[in-house]
Chains A and B, each alone.
Chain A
Amino acid sequence: MIEHMIWMIPVLPLTGAIINLLIGKRLPRRVVDSIAVGSISLSFVLAVTAYFHLISLPADQRQFTDTVYTWIGLGSFQVNLAFLIDPLSAVMILIVSGVGSVIHLYSVGYMHGDKRYSRYFAFLNLFAFAMLLLVLSSSILLMFVGWEGVGLCSYLLIGFWFEKIENARAGMKAFVVNRIGDFGFIAGFLLLFTTLGVKTGIWSLDFSVLKSNIALVPVAVLTATGIMLFVGATGKSAQIPLYVWLPDAMAGPTPVSALIHAATMVTAGVYMIARMNFLYVLAPDALRVIAIVGALTAFFAATIGLVQNDIKKVLAYSTVSQLGYMFIGVGVGAFSAGIFHLMTHAFFKALLFLGSGSVIHAMSGEQDIRKMGGLAKKLPVTTATFIIATLAITGVPGFAGFFSKDDILYNAYVSPYGGTFIWLLGVLGAVLTAFYMTRLVLLTFYGKPRMDHHTAEHIHESPKTMTVPLLILAVLSAAGGYIGMPEVFGVHNVFAQFLAPVFNSGFAVPEGSHTLEWTLMGVSVLAAFSGIGGAYYFYAVNTELPARMAQSFRTAYAWLLNKYYVDEFYLKYIVGGVLKLNTILSLFDARIIDGAVNGAAKLGKKLSDFDGAFDRIVVDGAVNAVGDGVVSAGGVLRKIQTGLVQNYLIFAILGLALLLSFVLL
Chain B
Amino acid sequence: MLSPISLQDYLILSGLLFSIGVFGVLTRKNAIAVLMGVELMLNAANINLVAFSKFIDRGIQGQIFALFSIVIAAAEVAVALAIVIAVYKTTRTIDLDKEDSMKG
Contact = CB atoms under 8 A, between A and B. Distances in A.
Nearest to B28: A646
29 contacts: A638-B104, A640-B104, A641-B102, A641-B104, A642-B100, A642-B103, A643-B99, A643-B100, A643-B101, A643-B102, A643-B103, A643-B104, A644-B96, A644-B97, A644-B99, A644-B100, A644-B103, A645-B96, A645-B99, A646-B25, A646-B26, A646-B27, A646-B34, A646-B96, A649-B25, A649-B26, A650-B26, A653-B22, A653-B26
Nearest to B29: A646
Contacts of B26: 646, 649-650, 653
Interface string B17-40: 000001001110000001000000
The 6 lowest CB-CB distance pairs between A and B, nearest first, are: A641-B104, A643-B103, A643-B100, A643-B102, A638-B104, A646-B26
Interface of B: 22, 25-27, 34, 96-97, 99-104
Interface of A: 638-646, 649-650, 653
A300 to B, nearest CB: 64
A644 B31 CA distance: 12
Given A639-B104, A649-B25, 7 more contacts: A638-B104, A640-B104, A641-B103, A643-B102, A644-B96, A644-B103, A653-B22
A644 B96 CA distance: 7
Nearest to A637: B104
A20 B99 CA distance: 47
Dominant SS at the A interface?
A: helix
A530 to B, nearest CB: 77
A640 B27 CA distance: 17
A12 B103 CA distance: 56
A650 B99 CA distance: 16
Contacts of B100: 642-644
A645 B101 CA distance: 10
> Could you tell me the dominant secondary structure of chain B's interface residues?
loop
Contacts of A649: 25-26
B22 to A, nearest CB: 7
Nearest to A646: B26
Contacts of A645: 96, 99
A641 B96 CA distance: 15
Contacts of B25: 646, 649
B54 to A, nearest CB: 26
A641 B99 CA distance: 13
A433 B27 CA distance: 87
Contacts of B102: 641, 643
A642 B96 CA distance: 11
Contacts of B96: 644-646
Contacts of B97: 644
B12 to A, nearest CB: 16
Q: Which of A638, A640, A646, A653 has the most CB of B within 10 A?
A: A646
Contacts of A643: 99-104
Contacts of B22: 653
B81 to A, nearest CB: 16
- Pick the most buried of B22, B34, B103: most chain A CB atoms within 10 A of its CB: B103
Contacts of A650: 26
A646 to B, nearest CB: 5
Nearest to B100: A643
A640 B102 CA distance: 11
A653 B19 CA distance: 11
A243 B34 CA distance: 67
B38 to A, nearest CB: 11
A650 B96 CA distance: 14
Nearest to A640: B104
Contacts of A644: 96-97, 99-100, 103
